[in-house]
Structure 1
Amino acid sequence: MPTLAERLKLKYAPASIRRTDVKPDGAMEFAPGRWGCVVAMMGAVVKKGKTAAFSDATCSCAGGRIGLGFTEMYAPGFQEFLSRGDSEGTCTRHRDSEGYKKSPAAVEAWFQGLPSRKIAEKYVVFEPLDRVPNGEEPELVVLYVTPDQLSALVVLANYDRPNADGVAIPQGAGCQTFCLFPWHEAEQEHPRAVVGMTDISCRHLIDDNMLSFTMPYDMYRQMEANAEGSFLDRETWKRNVEKRL
């Protein structure tokens, strides 16, 4: 039986995210205290089959630290940086404010709504799904997809549900959309998949015709099981979309 990645003819193999106290041998890792982008690391995992590990000591990006669960709070003054102006000392990498929210108050309200957490495990590991060690189980599966592939995943995510809200598109940093928000969904009774990589600051780190699609591992397995006999085997999909993949 073909995998979901094979059915959708994904350009890149699925990646996985898991928390652990053991760093995989040979994993890429940022140097302590040196800034590095979590999204760029995910790109190396998806596109090159690398394994990446992050810890509290090696994840320095403010958004990445929240996205991977190493802290629950942004530094004071980040409200200004994400909206209308950068407070002195808030961000040494960017000189200009980002304008992603209309006001500091709007940013603060957004902060309060983030499903942030402080993880108990030492490491967050990104690795190809087919390289997760025996005895371990990924928490999340990340796919890089085109609009046509995304359309199929949205339908399949809702295939066995009585409603149509099986997918969410929250605003956040790139790594938050493929890690933090999906972690939160995995804890819900009816978890949703999360469309991500809509962060303007990170769009240059992914193919220009792609977004990320992240789901809890159990949801991914259910979607794979549901693929057989679904619209993916029907003429409408084959005639209208599959031939373009």
Structure 2
Amino acid sequence: MDLKLVEMLHLDLEPVGIFFGNTDAKSDLEASPEKRNCVIPFVLAAAKGKVTSMNEDSCTCPGGAVGACFGDGFTRLNPNIHKMLSQGLGERAPQGAPPMVREGERFFCDEEIAMRWRQNMPYSDKAYPRIVFAPLSKWAEVGTPDLVFIFANADQMSALVTMQGFYNGKAVNTLAPFGAACHSIVYAAEQIDKEEPYAIIGLFDISQRSAAIKDYLSMTIPYRLWKNMTKDLDKSCLSTHSWKNIEKRL
């Protein structure tokens, strides 16, 4: 049924299972602590068929460490992140600093407001000692994922959002929090143990959108929400004439 859902959605990238604390899976691509590693390329490599992994030492991006659930990477790796995310360091920036440091990302009006966002981040330690990303086709050899990360275009995302309410009748089943490209992982991790978990839509970070897949966003969900979506597909919106009209352009 997992594969049937992929086929009915016409996903051209495999759903990625996220495995917290996994030390056993053989990795095709393991992050090196000698490089500055962004999390999303490792997720994307998994969506294209590889098993990839990171640990705290190799998750060298401050925001990435937060997103991948290696605790408060901001404090460890970039305690001034709130300044960069707001109006920058200006004249206090080191000589030769990139524009994002000097001028700021300008996601927030000032550093106090950016600090408010930072303090409200749902930091998690779930990934220790290692996080693994695996494509759907390799879940059988890795295990049952904690989360599922899906790359989707607008048509596919509309179906994914709709399907979240299939069994509960709620209008609001998805959240779209602001954060770095990988922060949907930490927000989704917060949902795992909730009685009524939300799906998390992501890839909104415009500082990284140029490196992401054009016209795609992501949905990250606890595994049990994925299993809900794979049931009763013949009764879902993916079996309707409306979806068949959309399928013609997928």
Q: TM-score scaled by structure 1?
A: 0.90
Moved over 4 A (4+): none
Tell me the equivalent position of 1:222: 228
- Are the equivalent residues in 1 in contact too, given 2:26–2:51 (CA < 8 A)? no
The one-letter amino acid of 1:19's match is F
SS at the partner of 2:230? Answer: helix
Whether 1:204 and 2:205 are equivalent positions in the alignment is no
1:180-218 deviation per Cα after TM superposition (whole angstroms, max 9, x unaligned):
011111221101111111111221232211111111111
User: Aligned-pair distance for 1:160?
Assistant: 1.6
1:15-58 deviation per Cα after TM superposition (whole angstroms, max 9, x unaligned):
11011341532431222242111112212221x31111111111
SS at the partner of 2:151? Answer: strand
Compared CA separation, residues 141 and 172, structure 1 to 2 (3 A): same
Q: Which runs of 5+ in 2 are unaligned?
A: none
Q: How does 1:159-178 map to 2 (within 5 A)?
A: 159-177=166-184
Tell me the equivalent position of 1:213: 219
Question: Using the alignment, how far apart are the partners of 2:139 and 2:240 within structure 1?
Answer: 33
Among all aligned residue pairs of Structure 1 and Structure 2, give the percentage whose two residues are the same amino acid. Answer: 29
Identify which range, 220-229 or 118-127, moves more after superposition: 118-127
Question: Using the alignment, how far apart are the partners of 2:29 and 2:62 within structure 1?
Answer: 20
Question: Using the alignment, how far apart are the partners of 1:135 and 1:42 within structure 2?
Answer: 15
Compared CA separation, residues 147 and 195, structure 1 to 2 (3 A): same
Compared CA separation, residues 54 and 108, structure 1 to 2 (3 A): same
Tell me the equivalent position of 1:24: 25
Equivalent of 2:105, from 89, 98, 101? Answer: 98
Whether 1:64 and 2:71 are equivalent positions in the alignment is no
Equivalent of 1:85, from 64, 85, 88? Answer: 88
Question: Using the alignment, how far apart are the partners of 1:50 and 1:157 within structure 2?
Answer: 28
Identify which range, 163-172 or 71-80, moves more after superposition: 71-80
Identify which range, 20-29 or 123-132, moves more after superposition: 20-29
Compared CA separation, residues 34 and 128, structure 1 to 2 (3 A): same
- Are the equivalent residues in 2 in contact too, given 1:23–1:53 (CA < 8 A)? no
User: Aligned-pair distance for 1:84?
Assistant: 0.4
The one-letter amino acid of 2:189's match is W
Number of residue-to-residue matches in the alignment? 240
Q: Which runs of 5+ in 1 are unaligned?
A: none
